[in-house]
């Protein structure tokens, strides 16, 4: 009998401890944070929140609260963040923006602290700090209970929001169409059209570039009434480095092209078309406006030919060379780029 009573007591004690542990677990505040490398990390965000609420996050909540925050952007365009609060009442989300990621994280810390312990946090912050933050925070749904907008830092500086048209993404696809003007690969100065498909990852962008140069004539020296009509189509690749440059995006690019050059005689007997391989290496710069998703861009490239096919006529059974691409070429272009 005593043994049974002892077992019951142990069982009841274990149940009580389990309930207490479960209550402790349900009262915990969980935090997750993702952001660009230059931003403060999750440990720093947690430290700032704990400094505002005066205790650790583990001991902070009276009920379960999951906080998920993420940011994207760069030092040139500014940063945008989303913070979601999930509790027994549901999920709420808020959005913040600031040109500096450190200030954005401070604003996030204050928003989260107000959601966890509004009384203690308000007591630690001047009223002006809370009031000025209305310019930095946008609420997608009803705000979390007791939470309020916050300022970006302790100096009461009103955060400057990122412009609506600016792209804060550190990666994404890009499509561009261009008009070309160039010389070197074909006779004289001529026009062409081009398109590029690229993908950006932080400060690097990889492009696939296609170009078509319209027909140009090379006069035959021995017969001025005869000529060779030449065309060129290429497909190439570019690797571009993107240093920050305010509202403009500068790209320093290098790559290579491989294509087909064709020529056919005009005003000659028995004209025949000849197709030959053309190849070059390319280096250049590009400049594009970044404030709009559809933006103008301009570029300059210098190329060095690797494969220079020869074109000419056959006269009295002897081949006569009339044209060969120059060792160096120049291309300028202007067009429109669309950031996906």
Where a domain ends, among 139, 156, 188?
139
pLDDT at 12 over 90: no
Q: Which has the minimum average pLDDT: 17-26, 41-50, 121-130, 325-334?
A: 17-26
- Say if CB 32 and CB 83 are below 8 A apart: no
Residue 135, pLDDT score: 43
Structural domain includes residue 16? no
Find the helix or strand (DSSP H, E) in which 311 lies: strand 311-315
Q: How confident is the model at residue 30 (pLDDT cuts 50, 70, 90)?
A: confident
For residue range 76-130, what is the model confidence (pLDDT) as tens digits? 778 888 898 888 888 888 888 888 899 889 998 888 888 888 887 777 666 545 5
Distance CA 325, CA 277 (A): 11
pLDDT at 132 over 60: no
Average pLDDT over residues 316-333: 90
Q: How confident is the model at residue 69 (pLDDT cuts 50, 70, 90)?
A: very high
Q: Enumerate residues 6+ apart whose C-beta is below 8 A from 271.
A: 264, 265
Considering only residues 156 and 311, tell me which one the structure prediction assigns the higher pLDDT. 311
Q: Are residues 236 and 303 in the same domain?
A: yes
Residue 250 sits in a domain whose CATH number is: 2.40.160.70
Q: Are residues 110 and 189 in the same domain?
A: no
Residue 241, pLDDT score: 93
- Per-residue b/e over 141-166, b at no fewer than 16 CB within 10 Å? eebbeebbbbbbbeeeeebebbeeeb
Place of tokens 């959005």: 95
Q: Are residues 185 and 262 in the same domain?
A: yes
Taking each helix axis from N to C end, the angle separating 101-116 and 42-53, rounded to the nearest 10 degrees, works out to 50
Average pLDDT over residues 30-37: 90
Distance CA 21, CA 309 (A): 80
Considering only residues 35 and 119, tell me which one the structure prediction assigns the higher pLDDT. 35
> Hey, which bits of 267-293 come out as E strands?
273-289
Q: Are residues 131 and 175 in the same domain?
A: no
Q: Are residues 176 and 135 in the same domain?
A: no
Q: Are residues 210 and 294 in the same domain?
A: yes
Average pLDDT over residues 299-306: 97
Where a domain ends, among 139, 163, 193?
139
Q: Are residues 200 and 281 in the same domain?
A: yes
Residue 123 sits in a domain whose CATH number is: 3.30.160.100
Q: Are residues 106 and 243 in the same domain?
A: no
For residue range 211-260, what is the model confidence (pLDDT) as tens digits? 999 999 998 887 778 899 999 999 999 999 988 666 678 899 999 999 99
Distance CA 311, CA 319 (A): 9
Structural domain includes residue 153? no
Residue 255, pLDDT score: 97
Find the helix or strand (DSSP H, E) in which 132 lies: helix 127-132
Q: Are residues 122 and 254 in the same domain?
A: no
Total domains, the chain? 2
Helix (H, G, I), strand (E, B) or coil at 10: helix
Q: Are residues 291 and 175 in the same domain?
A: yes
Average pLDDT over residues 56-70: 79
Domain range for 238 is 171-339
Q: Are residues 104 and 201 in the same domain?
A: no
Considering only residues 300 and 272, tell me which one the structure prediction assigns the higher pLDDT. 300
Where a domain ends, among 90, 124, 139?
139
Q: Are residues 101 and 210 in the same domain?
A: no
Instruction: Evaluate if pTM is beyond 0.85.
Output: no
Residue 166, pLDDT score: 36
Tell me the HSE value of 339 on the side-chain side, using a 13 A CA sphere: 22
- The mean pLDDT of the chain is 79
């Amino acid at each position: 009998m005593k043994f049974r009573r002892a077992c019951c007591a142990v069982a009841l004690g274990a149940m009580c401890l389990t309930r207490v542990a479960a209550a402790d677990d349900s009262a915990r505040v969980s935090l997750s944070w993702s952001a660009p490398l230059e931003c403060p990390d999750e440990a720093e965000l947690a430290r700032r929140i704990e400094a505002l609420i005066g205790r650790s996050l583990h001991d902070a909540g009276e009920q379960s609260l999951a906080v998920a925050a993420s940011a994207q952007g760069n030092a040139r365009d500014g940063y945008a963040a989303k913070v979601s609060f999930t509790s027994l009442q549901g999920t709420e989300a808020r959005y913040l923006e600031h040109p500096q990621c450190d200030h954005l994280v401070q604003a996030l810390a204050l928003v989260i602290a107000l959601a966890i312990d509004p009384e203690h946090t308000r007591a630690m912050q001047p009223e002006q700090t809370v009031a000025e933050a209305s310019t930095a925070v946008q609420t997608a749904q009803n705000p979390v209970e007791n939470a309020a907008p916050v300022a970006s830092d302790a100096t009461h500086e009103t955060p400057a929001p990122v412009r609506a048209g600016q792209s804060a993404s550190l990666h994404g696809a890009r499509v561009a169409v261009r008009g070309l003007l160039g010389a070197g690969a074909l006779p004289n100065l001529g026009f062409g059209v081009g398109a590029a498909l690229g993908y950006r990852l932080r400060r690097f962008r990889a492009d696939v570039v296609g170009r078509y140069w319209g027909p140009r004539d090379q006069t035959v020296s021995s017969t001025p009434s005869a000529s060779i009509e030449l065309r060129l189509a290429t497909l190439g690749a570019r690797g571009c480095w993107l240093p920050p440059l305010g509202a403009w995006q500068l790209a320093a690019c290098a790559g290579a092209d491989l294509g087909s050059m064709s020529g056919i005689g005009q005003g000659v007997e028995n004209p025949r078309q000849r197709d030959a391989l053309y190849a070059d290496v390319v280096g250049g710069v590009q400049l594009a406006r970044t404030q709009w998703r559809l933006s103008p861009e301009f570029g300059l490239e210098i190329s060095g030919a690797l494969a220079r096919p020869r074109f000419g006529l056959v006269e009295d059974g002897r081949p006569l060379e009339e044209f060969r691409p120059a060792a160096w070429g120049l291309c300028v272009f202007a067009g429109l780029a669309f950031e996906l």
